[in-house]
Amino acid sequence: MALIPQFGGLIWTIAAFILALSVIVAIHEYGHYIVGRWSGIHADVFSIGFGPILYSRYDKRGTRWQIAALPFGGYVKFAGDANAASGKDATAMAEVQDDPERLRATMHGAPLWARAATVAAGPIFNFALSILVFAAVMLTNGVSKDPLTVGEMRALPVAAGGLQSGDEILSINGGELPSTEEDEAYRDFVDELPYDPVLTYDVRRDDRIISVDGPYMFPPLVNGLSPQSAAIRAGMEQGDVITAIDGRPIYAFDELKTAVEGGNGATLDLTIWRNGETVDVSLTPKRVDEPQPDGGFETQWRIGIAGGLAFEPATESPGVVEALSGGVQQTWRIINGSLSGLGHMITGAISTCNLSGPIGIAQTSGAMASQGAENFIWFIAVLSTAVGLLNLFPVPALDGGHLVFYAYEAVSGKPPSDKALRVLMTFGLATVLTLMLFALGNDIFCP
């Protein structure tokens, strides 16, 4: 079910962006807050947003929890926080210097381990959110049964033939279907299937093995849409089936992929089957830099759709450990891909247009919300990983910069001087602002 009426409405796009950002910021700042509390550091303020306060309350520990008018971030102000100390705060800080117990409850007076743990907790909580979301989705959706089993047939222009829910697929056109866990063998088997509208399936049904007709295993079906893609702009919808390209009939998703990749960016005229009706659309593929398993990138033409099986595969629930392991693996893939992408952008191997700013992220938020709650929650988890990773960069003003200062203190036995901190923080803020402006420029000027 879509969370917003349609993609493209400015108000809905902004609302989806604010919701996604607020969840991520709340988790990040709560990580700082709760680990700081566990470490004996008092928090004066926990704020979602900046600027004028819309709502606030004090808890029994004396922390003010507030929601501010500008919902594009948030912060935790700890007692004695040097970044916020001025005027009354500086006076209050001076008053606790001679009180060891009160000084210990400040960020400035806490042991090095407590300060480092408190700062590191924000990004760690972002990663934890991502892992839990990915694991929850895996637990909710389940994993495909092995052997591959038909769950529910999708709506296709080609009849399902004799395939039924519960059929275990043993072979197709006389070739034994490999286990879905044997990734390479499974892909090779699918690649060798003929691009015919109807194939012969040998299935196990009620302890009998029978042969039935069924559609091509991976038809040119739109099972997912990428935000800001040519397909989105052309008005394509999830569930569409492409039946022809430039008037030539196709029956396999790979036929569509070959036509897009081999067209060198030329406009394609697609004939689409949608709920029993035929729709014609024209779209122009975009050049996309795609991460590869070896850590590199490959530039391809894409229209921004993901395919799927001709049927919903039957699933079974994985164990909690398996789901959490899958969540960790997915989070690591995002981290690895992000670092690889950044490195390739710095060296010029791929376009810097791959870096999105607030406008691009807002548009993606709206697009994912329009595709349903699960897609939107998945996007929040992906964005949470990106925010956690960004905050670990060793740039002053970010969490990673503070951790570098603490590492220096651990090695040298003393923190950097106030003058050095001021210079480095100014440099860090300038770096972050420059990066934000560069990403915003990408949103505006990149195709």
Residues involved in catalysis? 29
Residues 39, 386, 127, 70, CA torsion sign: positive
Instruction: Identify the CA nearest to 133 among candidates 372, 382, 315, 392.
Output: 382
Specify burial of residue 87 (Cβ count, 10 A radius: 0-12, 13-18, 19+): exposed
Q: Which residues pair with 221 in a beta bridge?
A: 241
Q: Which residues pair with 198 in a beta bridge?
A: 215
Paired tokens of 100: 């060891």
Neighbours of 419 (CB within 10 A): 8
Which residue blocks in 39-180 are alpha helix, DSSP H? Answer: 88-96, 100-104, 112-141
The per-residue DSSP string of 170-221 comes to: EEETTEEPPPTT-HHHHHHHHHTS---SEEEEEEEETTEEEEEEEE-SS-SB
Neighbours of 85 (CB within 10 A): 19
Give the residue carrying structure tokens 């500008």: 70
Give the residue carrying structure tokens 């009620």: 206
Residues 83 and 76: beta-carbon distance below 8 Å = no
Kind of pairing between the strands at 224-225 and 208-215: unpaired
